[in-house]
Amino acid sequence: MITDSQRRELMDLRRYAKVRDQEQLQFYTKRLLQQLPYFYALAIVLEPAYRLLPIFESYYPEEEWVRKLLVSIASFGAPPDDSVAEMALSQSFSEAGMGNYMKAIYDITQAMQDKHTLEARVGFMTSAVVNVVMTELVEAWYGDKPNLWHTVRVDPPTEESVDIAYEFWTSEQTAQLDTQNWLDLADTLESVLNRL
């Protein structure tokens, strides 16, 4: 059953979702995940990563290992070999949002490694949530605008790339999707907490 403290933290998570305060969203996400049994928390993180898998596969259909990894984690709950994490970070996934997706996959693999403390593992879960949200935001905005995506990724940044990134982050579409993702997470966390 949900406690008064957890109810307040969920209210704070929802409040910060509406104003898009990324630091506070991460803080409350981590606090709430820490209060769940490990595999309950992991399941909350896996679901949105799995939901976005078809988008990743539409860009990279030959990368079948990601689906196999997520299915294996969900089916067996066993930590993958660390070489899988290295694979996630060693390749360049340059399509819109896919670098964030690979970072989320890496974070999920690290959240399962016993070599990390439980607090660090929950930190990886929190990072995975953030990167899944960013995957969806970036892909939704830039996915059908590859010219803008390539412009915004120039190094060093130009005035044009900064303006494009600002337009992305402040657009109504991005704001609504960002807020909705975090509100959905709060709903999921609340549902799980109520079942405990």
Round the CA-based radius of gyration of the chain to a whole number and report it: 17
* Residue 153 in domain: no
pLDDT tens for 34-89 read 999 999 999 999 999 999 999 999 999 999 989 988 998 888 888 887 777 677 77
The pLDDT of residue 128 is: 98
Residue 50: inside a domain: yes
Average pLDDT over every residue of 18-37: 98
Please report the DSSP string for 144-159 in residue order: T-HHHHHHHT-SS--H
From first CA to last CA, the distance across the chain in angstroms is 5
Nearest to 92 by CA among 84, 83, 102, 82: 102
Q: Would you state the pLDDT for residue 101?
A: 96
Which are the contacts of 180, defined by CB distance < 8 A and separation ≥ 6?
A: none
* Residue 154 within any structural domain of the chain: no
165 within a domain of the structure (yes/no): no
Tell me if 161 is assigned to some domain: no
92 occurs within a structural domain = yes
**Whether residue 157 has a cis bond before it, omega within 30° of 0:** no
Vertex 126 angle, CA 7 and 115, to 5° = 120
Domain tally for the chain? 1
pLDDT tens digits, residue range 136-180? 999 999 999 999 999 999 889 999 999 999 999 999 999 999 999
185 located within any domain: yes
Contact status, residue 84 vs residue 65, Cβ threshold 8 Å: yes
Looking at the chain, the whole-number percentage of residues with pLDDT higher than 70 is: 99
User: Would you say residue 47 lies in a domain?
Assistant: yes
| Exposed / middle / buried, residue 145 (Cβ in 10 Å: 0-12, 13-18, 19+) | middle
Indicate whether 24 pLDDT > 80: yes
Residue range(s) defining the domain that contains residue 84: 4-136+174-195
